[in-house]
Amino acid sequence: MTLKTAVWLWAVPSLLATFVIGAPTTGAQYVLQAGREGSHSASQRKLHGRFLHITDLHPDEWYKVHSSTEQNIACHRGHGPAGTYGAETSDCDSPLALVNATLSWITANLKDSIDFVVWTGDSARHDSDEEIPRHNKEILAMNQRIANAFITTFSDNEGLVVPVVPTFGNNDIYPHNILEPGPNKILSTYNDIWETFIPEDQRHSFQYGGWFYVEVIPDKLAVFSLNTLYFFDRNAGIDDCAHPTEPGYKQFEWLRVQLQFLRNRGMKAILIGHVPPARTSGKQLWEETCWQKYTLWLQQYRDVVVSSLYGHMNIDHFFLQDTNEIDIASTGSGSSQQVNTRESMDEEFSIESSKDYLMELRENWATLPDPVADKDLDESGKKKHKKDKIGGPWAERYQLTFVGPSIVPNYFPTLRVFEYNITGIENTPTWLDKIRASEAKSSSLPEDLELPQLELRGEPDIEIEKKKKKKKGKHGKTPKPPPFTVPEPPAKGSPPGPAYFPQPLALKGFTQYYANLTYINNDITKDVNEENGWLALLGWNPGKHKGKKPKHDKPKPREFGFEVEYTTFNDKIYKLNDLTVKSLLRLAHRIGQTSDGDSKELVEDYEREDDRYEDDDVDNTVEDVEFSDEEYEDEDEDEVESDGELEVEKKKKKKGKGKKKKHKGGSKNKATKIWLHFLKHAFVSTRSIDELKDL
């Protein structure tokens, strides 16, 4: 990113809530504190159709400016390149100066233009220094300080003006990863720490299991904070989500009841958590029965759930869950569960493990059904002669998960602002209206009230219904009911939900902001001859400035600010019309393609749905990334517009005649332009094109 093209959005000092005492120009760490200044009054708040996702702050009060980034030192001692606002691209945690500056920037630039905040955990440092081990008291104290800072950031003199929905991270507890079933002391303590954020009528369920929800738009939209530590396969304190005594099982029962309640009220939901349900052909983060239930629940409540947002992994990406992989029988406590051959993903996401994971994602995406399969449907949505492979005209076979990059500068600190559709609800009462007026009584479902038991007809999708009919036709028998209550599916004839079709509350796109710490810290002079050895790192990462010395004896940072890294609204390579499942399925399919002569030719005839991309020239869309003519040629071949299946076949035959393609390396790892663009953002613009090509 060149400075000439950077779009800097600076915080105006006179408007800031001051989180630090003076400008952080030395190695000192400052106490999180603040004085509140003006914000929009209750009468001025209105829906903006925007919300903030912030994750993985990892504040470290032991961080020392100009210390070493080496392993077991972790920016706590010695002399080295650790900058005022963090040691970017290293495994060091965040200085408090970075947390303070981030919240101050949010106060000045975002606070008055967002409707709510999702905060997906890990607000304590890692246990990276044997000389300064973590302990429970320190972890809880830091979480209290961060919670207080969030309250200050999003409040006026009367209290919160924007609802904040937090969730647990695996490093917010001690020992990390391990949380025993509730009620327990940890849950009780966080119930106090997050008292301002958790609705009073949700505190009982939170104390019981660490889960709750907030109606961020009263009677319209709720954000569900899931306790993903009870799904996490590295939590030695739990087993699975199949046995009724397990907290994961109980959390799904709670979620089933609450989502049904929202459906009955005509409301929608966003699900958030810390550890995402990442799952490739070889690795996974969740215990398998938890993944199975989650995928089933989302399929059954696809008319209710808007989106799912997570953190933990630090890299910017998304993935798809395939409902064809649902196996209800395997999730029962009394069933003989299939042996799961997937390995657990690495405990912390090193560069090497992230690289392997992204490569596996791409390999999975290469096998996705061609999104033009929806051409096998007529205008009424009925099937033609060919089998529909993507789950109908709205791709309801799949579900979408967004994983946000972190504040902790393993790459560059990052914030994400989503925009959602508020057509027709622009003047609806806000969360603040309800809180300040104290008009409404609690609308939560009483804890002791259960919905009627649901029948087997709630099986997840068209394919399962087909299997039932097929079995009944052959044997005249009805399949055994599952050993748990399967949620009801959407009513027959219901329109697609907001995850699948643009409508009020559906996600339209997002803008991603990042802080270029190399520029802001102003410590390191770039060495054009430096070697790029980051891809070989298997463990601790000391960062791209390892071994370098700061150019100033005393820190001389530039003014802190976030800039736009990219936005889905005008990204001419991603070409996303919105954030519906089908749009991201198309993108995943494109990323999965290679330019190998044997690969299936990608057809983007859906571009005609949005005229704004018809004349786009993609040659100038990626700054600091130069592509060869050969790569452009490959990309063009991957993106051919078509008017139908017959035309596709004609173009395939035509391209196959008299034209030879040149490739470097195997086709599986071909560095197409869109793949490099995806990797660039996955690592938050911290890596050069040559480094990315090495993948």
pLDDT tens column, 585-643: 999 999 999 853 333 344 343 343 334 333 333 333 333 333 333 332 343 334 333 33
Question: Residue 655 has what pLDDT?
Answer: 40
Assigned CATH for 50-333+347-434+483-518+560-598+675-682: 3.60.21.10
Question: Residue 693 has what pLDDT?
Answer: 86
Q: Are 53 and 419 in contact (CB under 8 A)?
A: no
Question: Residue 483 has what pLDDT?
Answer: 72
Scanning the structure block, which residue is given the tokens 């102003």? 522
212-217/507-514 β-pairing = unpaired
Q: Specify the pTM.
A: 0.80
User: In whole angstroms, what is the distance from residue 87 CA to residue 95 CA?
Assistant: 9
Question: Residue 549 has what pLDDT?
Answer: 72
Supply 525's token pair: 């002079």
User: In whole angstroms, what is the distance from residue 593 CA to residue 585 CA?
Assistant: 13
DSSP track, 664-684: SS-GGG---HHHHHHHHHHTT
Question: Residue 382 has what pLDDT?
Answer: 55
Question: Residue 554 has what pLDDT?
Answer: 84
Question: Residue 480 has what pLDDT?
Answer: 52
For the chain, which ranges sit under pLDDT 70?
Answer: 1-43, 332-351, 372-387, 438-482, 525-540, 542-547, 551-552, 595-669, 695
Handedness of CA 125, 126, 131, 136 (dihedral sign): positive
Instruction: Give the residue extent of every domain in the chain.
Output: 50-333+347-434+483-518+560-598+675-682
User: In whole angstroms, what is the distance from residue 155 CA to residue 139 CA?
Assistant: 24
Question: Residue 281 has what pLDDT?
Answer: 80
254: left (phi over 0), alpha (psi -120 to 50) or beta: alpha
Question: Residue 330 has what pLDDT?
Answer: 76
Question: Residue 676 has what pLDDT?
Answer: 95
